[in-house]
Structure 1
């Protein structure tokens, strides 16, 4: 007779196997045909790249050229120079090439938890990088900014302004990281399990019934154990930011494991 302990012991290797490997939807961001694509990840502060975007960065690196642009040095506490160095170390851990790491220190774009940034200024700065780097896709926060930080929330407005005013034809594609409700934001290791179950069941239904699903519309990247540990190591590069609540964040945040993206269509 099977006992609860026996069932639990039997499930442990199964759960580990599910967790171990990364997975992603077959989407417009990770097709092998995109080898020549230049993707720009636009962030507000050093540490955004690993706290929110690591599953995507790690997953896309084999397919595309990824540039990371932080629009501030995170100088709210006077640690701007330290945080710049920490960002470079974090990006090294994630695997982003040295020449693809960019940071801006603009008087109007300072780290400030109470102030929004001007979309026109963001657009002007972004435009220079898009042209110089031949960027074809821009990734950044959505209007909620995951954490609600006004600097985060300003970025999609700046991207929107750039795309609506640029003379580039076609303009870069624009993807926004979906902000999930608080109830599902801090579920820890359940996040990749639930996300993979969702992806696998959707693929199964699509194969059996031919029904459209998230694999057709929404880019999703789910880290495996190795990728999660890489993101964790990248976060540890930000030594000046490792206060107690950030340790809780890296343990429980969905964004250390799962990124879901929305293609923003303008015009």
Structure 2
């Protein structure tokens, strides 16, 4: 697992409050056929905290069985270190190529507590780990010093950083690169900022959009990986109405899940309650953007 290119994060759709295995397999196979560089299973888009250990193991089994030669990155976040270790073990048994870990918590964590979490998990791993800095969801922000400490642990393969502006991206990426070992890949999240991160030196884009619309995301990623940032920015600018929806409706999950329902890729409702897809005028906004951009699964 080299953590480069486009990592497409799939929904984990429900049907009658249970994993919709048929729809999930179709989403995974769509990513395989599209030729994404890796598949993210049970990431934030996949609503991993809402599923039991058994449900998560089943989802990972299906993902690895239907991903072909494309590596699968599995989210293993949980409240307790014990549970993270169990989930990481299940993920490895399922045959994933890497795991993704954010410091999930109810009580605010200290830096030492987060370091101890990653130290405990990496000590037991036989696959690389991606550190996920996602303060919007976890309400924990990694300091550069903490990232540098964690980067010295075994089996760290990538650092997934939050969205960064075009003006600050080069400085941010250069600073982190100077503080972590050369073999660790920096990755960007936040689809609207993907080109900014990739142009600044991030090696991989962890993409929500890519999980449902891989061709649209691949157009951006392939251009960026080829060094044609003008073309990558043009492809990203063409998706601005979608980026605007993400901002308007509090993030990408509900927009992407709503789009999946509207396009018939998943049944309605597909999200784990109490989380819901968009209704009313918001749903009509998503339908209009799908039609305007001619987005297809």
Question: TM-score, normalised to structure 1's length?
Answer: 0.37
Q: Which has the higher contact order (CA 8 A, sep 6+)?
A: 1
Rg comparison, structure with higher value: 1
TM-score, length of structure 2 as denominator length: 0.34
